[in-house]
Structure 1
Amino acid sequence: MDLTEQINQLEADLQELGPLLEKAERTRVQELLRQEQKKLEKEIAAKRQQKEQQARREADSTTKAAYTVKITNYGWDQSDKYVKMYITLKGVHNIPSENVDVNFTERSFSLLVKDLEGKNHQMTMTNLLGPIDPKDSSKKIKTDMVLVMCKKQTVRKWDCLTQVEKQSKEKDKPAVDDNADPSEGLMTMLKKIYSEGDDEMKRTINKAWSESQEKKLKGGEDGSMMDF
């Protein structure tokens, strides 16, 4: 029974005591009823004070926890069926499990950890590489860690975690010209190595180039040095 219910019961007892006191005729009975009346009034006052203190503590806790920080410390792994997110949060196993809430959509999830060391901790992951099944996705609370398990809709390995990462990799990938001369690409690479290399590297490249030219000419003219 919570404090509100206790106060209601005591007030009901006090209210019922009033008519009894009015009907009492003997002095001793009246005195006993007045003592019980004062006892109930004191108990009600104490319970109300206790309720007010509890409300203040809850308000203070809510105020402290209102400060929200973004979660940046995490890692991820996968199997054919699940993407697993490992979110490190010291002491998370010590708070009530209902304080750890994860909401899933087909392409995202959001994690909110409430009132951990006086703060809220939040993480949102959007634009997942593939669709997930929200109803079969879940969370597990471990020592100093929250494990978020996203169930893939399609059984396969992901190349990366999000669409943004995929687009970034494709952007950074050098363009391939199917009609380009492979030797031109090799020459460009060698020139870059030559220009950035030290004297020993340059001598090595020149020697390799000369030997290659000698073999190609089959004993003819000496191979010339690369024009870098």
Structure 2
Amino acid sequence: MDLTEQIKQLEADLLELGSLLEKAERKRVQDLLKQEQKKVEKELAAKRQQKEQQARKEADPSAATKAAYTVKITSYAWDQSDKFVKIYLALKDVHKISADNVEVKFTERSFSVLVKDLDGKNHEMTVLNLLYPINEQDSYKKIKTDMVLVMCKKQSTKKWDCLTAVEKQSKEKEKPSFDENADPGEGLMNVLKKIYAEGDDEMKRTINKAWTESQEKKLRGEEMMDY
């Protein structure tokens, strides 16, 4: 069913709902009919807008591309199940444009998104170096209200700690490194120095007091041991 026929059917549904609403006497029935009426009106408006965009493209196929400029999608959220990694891209009114305007391409370790002619702009995002390989044939997109959902099919059910290998490397760099051959006392001293440097006045007083008491005990030969 083409767009023209879909619009005709929705217009007929709207007329019939209006007729039923005039005849309805009970409030609950009226409320249900009004809810359905609003739903059909919203769908009809989206189809009409889609038809207008289609007509403009047919008149000048290059017009949409010429009019739009490209912006990067930098904000996203992600989640996962045993089978999929899901990336959520919030894009207002994306559900109102043609699904053909939303292109998502997958490789084994990446995906890219291009949303064309949305609010006079193209919206683009590319994610490289995914943490683990995905099955590109079974990966796909979903278009929801004001959102594009990218579904990356996992090759295995392994849990992902982060989305990309780059993020993983960045996290690992932030972790403190430990040398098995290093003097444990020296390592402890470095930790204490770091706490002292970053701590507030109360923390510094506490460390100074503990250090002073420890040195006094050593001088008196009363060094404490833990049992």
Structure 2 length as normaliser, TM-score?
0.64
Alignment partner of 1:142 is 2:144: yes
SS of the residue corresponding to residue 191 of structure 2 reads helix
SS of residue in 2 equivalent to 1:165: helix
The number of aligned residues is 169
Alignment match, 2:127? 125
Check 1:186–1:140 CA distance in 2 against 1; reply closer, same or farther (3 A cut).
same
Q: Which runs of 5+ in 2 are unaligned?
A: 1-54
Which residue identity lines up with residue 202 of structure 1 in the other structure? Answer: K
Deviation at 1:213, TM superposition (A): 5.4
| CA deviation vs aligned residue, 1:68-103 (integer Å, no higher than 9, x gap) | 221112111122221110011111011111211111
Matched with 1:177 is 179
Give the corresponding residue for 2:64: 61
Post-superposition offset of 1:136: 1.1
| 1:85-100 correspondence to structure 2 within 5 Å | 85-100=87-102
Structure 1 position 196, deviation (Å): 4.8
CA contact (8 A) 2:108 2:136 kept: yes
* TM-score after normalising by structure 1: 0.64
CA distance in 2, matches of 1:56, 1:151: 39
Structure in which a larger fraction of residues adopt strand? 2
Q: Distance in 2 between matches of 1:122 and 1:144?
A: 16
Out of 190, 193, 200, the position equivalent to 1:191 is 193
Any stretches of 5+ residues in structure 1 without a counterpart? 1-51, 224-228
Once the two structures are TM-superposed, the CA of residue 212 in structure 1 deviates from its matched residue by: 4.5
Q: 1:183 aligns to what SS in structure 2?
A: helix
Residues 83 and 186 of structure 1, relative CA distance in 2, 3 Å threshold: same
Question: Deviations 1:150-200 (Å, cap 9, x if unpaired)?
Answer: 011011111211121222223333321012222221212222333454554
The answer (yes or no) to whether the contact 2:57–2:64 under 8 Å persists in 1 is: no
